Amino acid sequence: MAITTVGVVGLGNMGLGMAATLVRKGFDVLGFDISDARRAAAEAAGVAFVPELGAVLRRADALVFSLPLARDVEAVVTVAGGLLSRTDRRVVVIDTSTSDPGTTRRLAGRLAEAGHALLDAPVSGGPSGAAEGTLTMMVGGSEADYALAEPVLTALSARAPHVGPSGAGNIVKLVNNLLVAAHLVTTGEAMRLSEAAGLSAEEAVKVVNTATGRSAISEVMFPRWILSNSFDSGFSAGLMRKDVRLALELAAESAVDLPLSAHVGRIWEGTREAIPDGADFTRMADYRDATGAH
């Protein structure tokens, strides 16, 4: 069935960018956010702001969720008079939130019983990627549902590989963000070593980025947000703490011992006062300076 109307639930830094991209790509877009303050920005982007969640869930051909927590996703999926009550067509939900695989699989089962589909499709690329339609999406779910959602996935992303069954997208995202969380700490410490030994971080990172120590942290985040002291990537420390916690919970459920990752988790948790949840997550590259630790 053709998808012409897409509902976007959650119009924050990521959701609004994705909604605006879908408008540009020719979709009719309905937007909902719990904050009515998002209405003006949504309407300026050509998004029809709908103040009642159920109306979006009942009218859209496909849905994109951009929500902070798994419990928020579950609340939207199960809202009375919403998606579970629809019988007019098969609706595919593209959940771009970073959630835990168990919750995803359970909600996918509930939606399947109602004749609908859930793809876990967490994203990488930040607000700029959302606004430009260049995200990387990591998609879990059935091949048939992936094919059904492909027009929307293509509009939102530069890459949207189907990585496996339900929950697989969230597994890949948690693995990715666990690495990012660790790389911010280790790259920050390496640059601190360089400066203490007499070479500026600016000069050191240029060389690292031509050698085997490079990563997205050194190549993108250090030049753009850390060395510039702008710290405005658009992704919060609180969201990264949540992702690290989910990754370590998945490790415990999978009975795998990750001692270094566990220590990274303790560093992220131990810096809440100096780097509060609302701060940009790139400040973690400076975590020792922020806490006064030496």
Catalogue the active-site residues. Answer: 173
**DSSP-H helix ranges across the chain:** 13-24, 39-44, 53-59, 70-77, 101-113, 126-132, 143-156, 168-196, 201-208, 216, 237-253, 259-270, 287-291
Q: Which helix (H) or strand (E) holds 65?
A: strand 62-65
**N residues, the chain:** 294
Residue with tokens 């959302």: 130
Q: Give the Cα separation of 134 and 94 in Å (integer).
A: 16
Q: What angle do CA 258, 264, 265 make, to 5 degrees?
A: 85
Token pair of 47 as six digits: 């998004």
The answer to whether 264 touches 245, Cβ cutoff 8 Å, is: no
Token pair of 40 as six digits: 């003006």
Which residues, in sequence order, are CB contacts of 189 under 8 Å at separation 6+? 288
DSSP state of 236: B
Amino acid at the residue 113: E
